[in-house]
Structure 1
């Protein structure tokens, strides 16, 4: 049956944060079910994803592909509505203490995991205790200090510090809630290695997994606790979803145009006309959070000189590169916070057109920094040393959005200003540790999250990676008191005006000092056949659950 969205205010925090996500039903974000009639139950959807998740545990290494799969396997504690407010998920209600350090969750009763075991406060404690006991998890950053079971269906979460984005964190696939039996019987490494241990409470369960090839999701026939954010009640429409891992772009496109696939992920912008010409639908959704950006390391010469950092930015013709690599489909990012990142207004519109490609300016800045000579190969030289930059690249993401091609184009174009750029690919397991050695000048990243805190966090002292890799995402190793102070306000205040002002302060500081170069606004681009309906994206811009998806027969 169709479900009407009764947007009941979740708690005072939701209103205070002023979170407002782009509608998932907006133009180009979902196929029109109305045009095809009533949803049909049954069928198998074949989906070609561009990569296999490197790790299957969302608390360890969150990734776009993992989120898209996990959102169908695991329910979230909180659900985020299209208008940004929070609604019950596995938690039916919650309260926050006056000091903001204790969250009390009342849990939904009658929920069971795929293995038949019950969901309750003790199991939720097992899940939330993980970052307390495993300091290398990405979720450690949420600041959970202790979890206390009050009764069978009430859990208190005690924080070591205020975290204004905690409810949003609990609404994302970054917090998969595993069966207590799985957590008791298996190690963290085992959870990360295979989705066969991904035993959640969601509308689909893992039926088959072939490493390097595919994962099959089967409908959970016992599912009857969908949150209000979905369009129907009861079980999912589809019998199963077959997710094939196909990194080759043309293979994915060939599969959908030939009828071998019902949907494909990550259509390169230059291939959109080809897909649309075949009579297929192309669904798009801009991300929120941080754009794709290049972080500069100001601790290491020559980037310890502000003139060189700003010269680097001035020397990149971002508009031309985005047109050449993406055909203009991706828009230029003007700030390290993306438009529509909640709370609305966090993105500072005054930064639009505030900087541009200017080779003459780059030359002037480099000469002011002492790079007055040019060697026989056209590179700038100072005191006999060539202006060489080391760019470390996480290989896991190098194929996302054709970033390898874009990065090479950027490196090549920078020679016009006299920069020599050496790109070094590193596997994900060692990337953080190598960054922590402080031997690089550049590293690139993007991070989707529907809360402004995540767009500032990568530039804070607390996010600097440790020597063992850790979970630090500050790839420029930046430690700046102005940004740290702004982040403190963003991460602790429940007043949207305070958070917005602090976010804009951080954005100006990052750009004025040349600590990073925003490049483009990432977006999810999915292709589907005309028989696919009910496809949705979440507020971050990732593919959400397959729960409402159905196939026209």
Structure 2
């Protein structure tokens, strides 16, 4: 029986207030944290956020972000950029080893950069694409990263867990499957066992010496083990927390939030910077190659009301289709570009020749229904709250005559790339975490035959927009850079190529008996290195 099945019986349990420890409860070293996560990755490292969350526990990065969003040391203890901004030289901590006993040295770090861009990590590769030139070991503990053009946010981007450093020896001598199942890093935990479909057991690295500067302690982790379980159903995860089967859970359903708060469970919420949960229009084919129809669709939706109703005040509404409100360089003007205006939606549709309706109320033109194919990645990119929001979008769009065909795409089809090409959908939903508005280059860079961009889900190729984003990416003055990013967001809003719905959240529910669990500041993933039990 899988763990998820074993916990199904808990869903019938009633609510139970948390047993709060006394104020003078003492720390208990050791123990196993049982953590219920909602999604299982294909590998334990890689370019998906769910891989980044678990790999953060056993792969160290070169740098970390503190609570103020400032870059602080991790494996790199210091760094400097050349005057032309094309070389970053990092000094590594001494006497740090991977858990296979090999050294964390400049050669290993340089190897990781080349490994990423050669296909070892697709997300790291797109972040470095167009900027990374080479990496070299200057000496044992000094690595130089050479760029092809200035990239002032380079170090900041390296704080994301896609850039976790792995053992060069492991990558060179083991099979891809071995590295997939048990990646070797220098982190606070090691991968002990992966029981697919059930859990990953992470054991404490007793020799850990390389905590990030923003951690709460140094040395080895306090707990012996993390039992990282996969429990897809949100209600089941909440029941596991209430019953004591889990010490911490991820992705608290919005409907359960207030109840858990009232019951005195510890709740953590992180609004993910980067691209929010948004909808992109496929601009390469009808009907949304027509800008007026894109605008009509947006005007058809009372987006804020949808999110407030379904999100129960937990999920933040987001009008900006480019970056979330947690992102530096955010444009409120882009977020406010479109209000709910069904009269304007109807006017635009009439003007575009979609004046007639069929017996079901859908718009028709030349005998063709105004169909909108809307596949979404159910159970991976989109959780239950998101699916409910999309159903409300479908219903509201119907009032002005759009026939939205919602297609939940299961994980197997998502990984196979179904509904990924320009001929497979009319609108597409998704997010992309980031620590800054540089995500715009990834999601809006034109796609060419020589340099395809599969992340441009709108298939919108605009040299003017690309030039704005490129200029922003290489601008060193922060205010000037953010102003350019804002211009780009407003350009996207003006041409109605995407619109926002809600900000992606990373949420945790934690037992009061488990202390100092925190969310790292680059992507909001759970951090268990500092965590300990009290009694």
TM over 0.5: yes
Alignment counterpart, residue 529 of structure 1, candidates 495, 498, 511: 511
Asked if 1 retains the 8 angstrom alpha-carbon contact of 2:21 and 2:513, the reply is no
Q: What residue in structure 1 maps to residue 486 of structure 2?
A: 504
**8 Å Cα contact 1:50-1:248 kept in structure 2:** yes
For structure 2, the residue ranges without an aligned partner over 5 or more in a row are 1-19
Aligned to 2:532: 550
Q: How many residues align?
A: 509
Deviation string 1:166-198 (CA, Å, 9 cap, x unpaired) is: 212221211121112210113445534x2x2x1
Residues of 2 paired with 1:498 and 1:489: CA distance? 10
TM-score by length of structure 2 reads 0.89
User: Structure 1 residue 445 and structure 2 residue 430: aligned?
Assistant: yes
Aligned-partner Cα distance in 1 for 2:281–2:145: 37
State the alpha-carbon separation in 1 of the partners of residues 194 and 380 from structure 2.
23
State the 1:460 CA deviation.
2.3
Is 1:487 aligned to residue 472 of structure 2? no
After superposition, give the CA deviation of every residue in 1:439-461 in whole Å (9 maximum; x if it has no partner): 42111111121111114531221
**SS in structure 1 opposite 2:203?**
strand
Counterpart mapping for 1:68-147 below 5 A: 68-134=53-119, 137-141=122-126, 142-143=128-129, 144-147=132-135
User: In the aligned structure 2, how far is the partner of 1:201 from the partner of 1:255?
Assistant: 31
The one of 311, 319, 324 aligned to 1:338: 324
Measured in 1, the distance between the counterparts of 2:103 and 2:25 equals: 37
RMSD: 2.4
Matched, 1:168 2:168: no
Q: C-alpha separation between the residues in 2 aligned to 1:34 and 1:542?
A: 29
Structure 2 partner of 1:153:
141
* Native 8 Å contact 1:125 1:148 kept in 2: yes
How far is 1:39 from its partner?
4.4
Q: Kindly tell me: are residues 434 and 247 of structure 1, through their superposed partners in 2, closer, same or farther at Cα, counting changes over 3 Å? A: closer
Find 1:388's aligned residue among 362, 365, 371: 371
1:45, 1:367 → 2: CA distance? 59
1:255-334, aligned counterparts within 5 Å? 255-334=240-319
Worse-matched range after superposition: 369-378 or 405-414? 405-414
**Bigger shift: residues 532-541 or 347-356:** 347-356
Partner Cα distance (1:132, 1:95) in 2: 23
**Residue among 375, 386, 391 paired with 2:358:** 375
Q: Please say if 1:397 is aligned against 2:380.
A: yes
CA distance in 1, matches of 2:177, 2:495: 41
With over 3 angstroms needed to count, the CA separation of the structure-2 counterparts of 1:373 and 1:292, relative to structure 1, is: same
Q: SS at the partner of 1:436?
A: coil
* Cα contact 2:44–2:54 (8 A) shared by 1: no
Stretches of structure 1 that go unaligned for 5 or more consecutive residues are 1-31
Superimposed CA distance per residue, residues 190-231 of structure 1 (whole angstroms, 9 cap, x where no aligned partner): 534x2x2x1110111112210110011111100122121111
Displacement of 1:81 after TM fit?
1.7
Contact 1:36–1:552 at 8 Å: present in 2 too?
Answer: no
Q: Structure 1's 351 and 491: CA in aligned 2 closer, same or farther, altered over 3 A? A: closer
* 1:383 to partner: Cα distance: 1.8
Q: Are the counterparts in 2 of residues 46 and 263 from structure 1 also a CA contact under 8 Å? A: yes
Paired position in structure 1 for 2:8? none
* TM superposition shift of 1:239: 1.2
Determine the C-alpha separation between the residues in 2 that align with 1:191 and 1:504. Answer: 40
Q: Would the alpha carbon gap of residues 34 and 479 (structure 1) be closer, same or farther in structure 2, given more than 3 Å must change?
A: farther
Alpha-carbon distance in structure 2 between the residues aligned to 1:189 and 1:455: 33
- 1:33, 1:533 within 8 Å by CA — same for their partners in 2? no
Output one character per residue of 1:355-395: Cα deviation in whole Å (capped at 9) or x when no partner: 22111111011111111111112111112211111223234
- Matched-pair contact (CA < 8 Å) for 2:440–2:469: no
Q: Using the TM superposition, give the Cα deviation of residue 323 of structure 1 relative to its aligned residue in structure 2, in angstroms.
A: 3.0
Does residue 202 (structure 1) correspond to residue 187 (structure 2)? The answer is: yes
- Check conservation: 2:308, 2:317, Cα contact below 8 A: no
| Shift in CA distance, 310/504, structure 1 to aligned 2, threshold 3 Å | same
- TM-score under structure 1 normalisation? 0.87
Deviations 1:50-88 (A, max 9, x none): 111233222xx222x322211110111012222222122
Are the equivalent residues in 1 in contact too, given 2:381–2:430 (CA < 8 A)? Answer: no
**1:36, distance to aligned residue in structure 2 (A):** 5.3
Hey, what's the Cα distance between the residues in 1 that align with 2:33 and 2:177?
30
- Further displaced range: 410-419 or 390-399: 390-399
SS in 1 for 2:161: coil
CA distance in 2 between partners of 1:473 and 1:327 (Å): 31
Distance 1:241 1:117 in 2: 24
Per-residue deviation at 1:118? 1.2
> Aligned residue for 2:415?
429
Tell me, what secondary structure is at the counterpart of 1:526?
Answer: strand
